[in-house]
Amino acid sequence: MVSGGCVGAEVEVDPEAAAAAAAAERDEAVAPAPARELVVGYALTSKKAKSFLQPKLRGLARKKGILFVAIDHKRPLSDQGPFDIVLHKLTGKGWQQLLEEYRETHPEVTVLDPPGAIAHLLDRQSMLQEVSELDLTDRYGKVRVPKQLFVNTDALSIPAAVTTAGLSLPLVAKPLVAKSHELSLAYDPTSLTKLEPPLVLQEFVNHGGVMFKVYIVGDAIRVVRRFSLPNVDEGDLSNNAGVFRFPRVSCAAASADDADLDPCVAELPPRPLLEILARELRRRLGLRLFNIDMIREHGTRDRFYVIDMNYFPGM
Ligand SMILES: Nc1ncnc2c1ncn2[C@@H]1O[C@H](COP(=O)(O)OP(=O)(O)OP(=O)(O)O)[C@@H](O)[C@H]1O
Ligand SMILES: O=P(O)(O)O[C@H]1[C@H](OP(=O)(O)O)[C@@H](OP(=O)(O)O)[C@@H](O)[C@@H](O)[C@@H]1OP(=O)(O)O
Ligand SMILES: [Mg+2]
Ligand SMILES: [Mg+2]
């Protein structure tokens, strides 16, 4: 290993690492070169390209014969490439149309994922529909969606609409557009009239302040714990009035993987349950690259709720 990051710093060589590097070089020399490079065209914002295409990933990919090539999203894709895979997370209408045309004329290219399927996750009204229809119950647990209501009327009519729909306070108010992360918590009927539709109101489910982020990449599943909002009790309900805004909570939340947590709260959802859920959602949504935010209802072992899904999230 080489220590000292700045130019002119003294370089110290770790003999073990140097030997390993030399061995790897030898292996590379004798290993057969990949038959052909796999070209992955990517259309991402510069922020996303930076967070996703880190040097380590590029290096690993190169070793496996995978090359990442930036796509110019303003030019027809047929004039670029050729690509084996197109990886994208841009939302403009012009881009969507270019991509659809390309999909029709290039069925041999894997587009990750079809724009129509992604659109389903970009709207919080349709986002959780498949989880709700799946209504998964097996011997490992149940997976539900919190009761929710889409609101696109005058804010003054929200309390009545909430009563009619049978939703209980507190409610999490989420902007309809999933790219917006300006969420809030409303404890009382009056604060509901201060919200700004269009939005989705979701019953707040107590879950002990820990959530599970389940990442799905094709057949692979990875789960991590993150801190989340704490439980709300009866006292909080009677003592709090107003709208509590909590923008970008998931970005602020630290990983809860190494924390000293109550095991009943921290236990990861059972793997077989996640496998069925991921397989079914992949099939029903037609997506291969997304994540599911899950919580366990506090005081239960096996009742889970899906509260959010994101296309091509930060991994
Ligand atoms: N129904 C709910 N019950 C309890 N807590 C919730 C509920 N919905 C959201 N939360 C809490 O609020 C956080 C943000 O909600 P959500 O994940 O829907 O927002 P988001 O802005 O789409 O997040 P992301 O950055 O993951 O896209 C969750 O991570 C969780 O801590
Ligand atoms: O950059 P992007 O637009 O993809 O931002 C995504 C972000 O990933 P990044 O870390 O790669 O930026 C993710 O963050 P972490 O959960 O990993 O903290 C997550 O918040 C997604 O919900 C965001 O996607 P969006 O909901 O806005 O589409
Ligand atoms: Mg989320
Ligand atoms: Mg989200």
Task: Tell me which residue of 308, 295, 286, 279 sits closest to 134, measured CA to CA.
Answer: 279
* pLDDT score for 19: 47
Q: Report how far ligand 4's centroid is from the alpha carbon of 308 (Å).
A: 5
Tens digit of each residue's pLDDT (9 = 90 or more) over 139-190? 999 999 999 999 999 999 999 999 999 999 999 999 999 999 999 999 999 9
Q: Report how far ligand 1's centroid is from the alpha carbon of 264 (Å).
A: 21
Tens digit of each residue's pLDDT (9 = 90 or more) over 115-143? 999 999 999 999 999 999 999 999 999 99
Closest CA to ligand 2's atom 19: 313
- Answer with the one of 82, 111, 140 that is the final residue of a domain: 111
173 plus 43 within the same structural domain: no
Q: How many domains does the chain have?
A: 2
Burial of 243 from C-beta contacts in 10 A (0-12 / 13-18 / 19+): middle
Which of 53, 180, 310, 315, when mutated, tests ligand 2's pocket best, judged by the most ligand atoms within 8 Å of its CB? Answer: 310
138 plus 244 within the same structural domain: yes
Q: What CATH number does the domain containing 192 carry?
A: 3.30.470.20
8 within some domain: no
Q: Examine the pLDDT at 10 and tell me if it is beyond 50.
A: no
5 within some domain: no
The ligand that comes nearest to the alpha carbon of residue 210 is 1
Q: Report how far ligand 3's centroid is from the alpha carbon of 246 (Å).
A: 12
225 plus 187 within the same structural domain: yes
pLDDT, average across residues 31-51:
87
Tens digit of each residue's pLDDT (9 = 90 or more) over 228-241? 999 998 877 777 77
How long is the chain?
315
Query: Which pTM does this prediction carry?
Result: 0.87
* pLDDT score for 189: 94
212 within some domain: yes
Domain that holds residue 44: 36-111
152 plus 292 within the same structural domain: yes
Residues ≥6 apart with Cβ < 8 Å to 175: 124, 181, 182, 183, 198, 199
Q: Examine the pLDDT at 47 and tell me if it is beyond 70.
A: yes
Closest CA to ligand 2's atom 28: 179
